């Protein structure tokens, strides 16, 4: 059973994750750089930690809410915490008190053309400090099939099968196909300039799940999507193609849950 934000304390039924050969949750950014600018992505992105070693990324979208991926809560019952880097590069923490998972989240759709609905909101126990800034959400994408420049960020691994490479906030530019797949409500990140020699040098890795896909505007960042899954070969933690949940496709769910939490969000 899935619960809406105003009903749910941190309590879940344990879900079974379907194991697929070439698709896995996006758990850091391979080929990225450390996010050192306190006014850049660091001011919007947080890490989510939970039971059984759960580590995901997320985006601050209001004074008390983080947007992330629903599959980040498959570990079930336990404590979930939000941590972020302050202006002096020190980690600060907040406790998650409520979670809203999309009511039609379906992990068994992973790797198919069906909608996973891999999106969730977290409410924390206190307002975020001023150095964590809510980011507006995209109300639409051009949907014209062109490639656009986007910026992603996450706390995950930066090297295949090297867990110690996780934990730093990294960022990187990617190409996004600016067209939402109508069946899955997803966008896709690829490196369409990559060669056979460089294809495995860059990508989203384990630990970036739930992290942001930003487009840069004259007024700052706008959140276009939430990192959902990577597509790579067997035994790989990173992938050259990344599936992203399009936030514009879930506007009604996000706004309903935010209003119920008393912490409205901004679409533009």
- Dig out the tokens for 33 from the structure: 């750089």
- What pLDDT sits at residue 195? 52
Distances (CA, A) of 161 to 10, 23, 33, 118, 243: 30, 16, 19, 24, 21
- The Cα 63–Cα 51 span in angstroms is 25
pTM for the model: 0.82
- What pLDDT sits at residue 114? 86
- What pLDDT sits at residue 206? 67
- What pLDDT sits at residue 76? 79
- What pLDDT sits at residue 6? 36
- What pLDDT sits at residue 167? 60
- What pLDDT sits at residue 11? 34
- What pLDDT sits at residue 97? 93
Convert the pLDDT of each residue in 168-220 to its tens digit.
788 888 889 889 998 999 998 876 655 555 455 556 666 688 999 999 999 89
CB within 8 Å of 164: residues ≥ 6 apart:
none
- Give the end-to-end CA distance of the chain in Å, rounded to a whole number: 32
Domain ranges within the chain, ordered by starting residue: 39-134+249-260, 147-248
- What pLDDT sits at residue 140? 92
Pick the closest to residue 154 from 168, 134, 165, 164 (CA basis): 168
CATH code of 39-134+249-260, in short, is: 2.40.10.10
- The Cα 217–Cα 222 span in angstroms is 7
Residues of the chain with pLDDT under 50: 1-31, 160, 162, 164-165, 198
- Dig out the tokens for 76 from the structure: 């079930």
- What pLDDT sits at residue 155? 83
- The Cα 187–Cα 208 span in angstroms is 16
Range 147-248: architecture per CATH:
Beta Barrel (2.40)
- What pLDDT sits at residue 2? 34
What's the CA angle centered on 227, arms 138 and 196, to 5 degrees?
Answer: 115
- What pLDDT sits at residue 78? 82
Could you check whether 39-134+249-260 and 147-248 share the same CATH topology? yes
- The Cα 253–Cα 67 span in angstroms is 12
């Amino acid at each position: 059973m899935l619960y809406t934000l105003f009903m749910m304390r941190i309590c879940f039924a344990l879900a079974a994750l379907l194991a697929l050969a070439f698709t896995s949750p996006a758990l850091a950014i391979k080929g990225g750089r450390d996010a050192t600018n306190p006014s850049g992505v660091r001011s919007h992105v947080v890490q989510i930690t939970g039971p059984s070693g759960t580590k995901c990324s997320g985006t601050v979208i209001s004074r008390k809410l983080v947007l992330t991926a629903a599959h980040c809560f498959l570990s079930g019952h336990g404590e979930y915490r939000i941590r972020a880097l302050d202006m002096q590069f020190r980690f600060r923490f907040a406790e998650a008190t409520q979670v809203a998972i999309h009511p039609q989240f379906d992990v068994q759709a992973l790797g198919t053309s069906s909608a996973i609905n891999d999106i969730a909101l977290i409410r924390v126990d206190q307002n975020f400090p001023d150095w964590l800034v809510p980011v507006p959400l995209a109300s639409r994408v051009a949907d014209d099939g062109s490639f656009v420049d986007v910026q992603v960020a996450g706390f995950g691994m930066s090297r295949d099968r090297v867990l110690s490479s996780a934990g730093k906030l990294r960022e990187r530019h990617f190409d996004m196909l600016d067209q939402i797949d109508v069946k899955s409500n997803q966008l896709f990140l690829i490196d369409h300039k990559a060669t056979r020699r460089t294809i495995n040098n860059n990508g989203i890795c384990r630990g970036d799940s739930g992290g942001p896909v930003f487009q840069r505007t004259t007024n700052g960042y706008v959140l276009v999507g939430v990192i959902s899954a990577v597509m790579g070969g067997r035994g790989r933690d990173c992938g050259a193609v990344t599936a992203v949940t399009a936030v514009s496709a879930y506007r009604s769910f996000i706004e309903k849950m935010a209003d119920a939490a008393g912490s409205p969000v901004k679409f533009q």
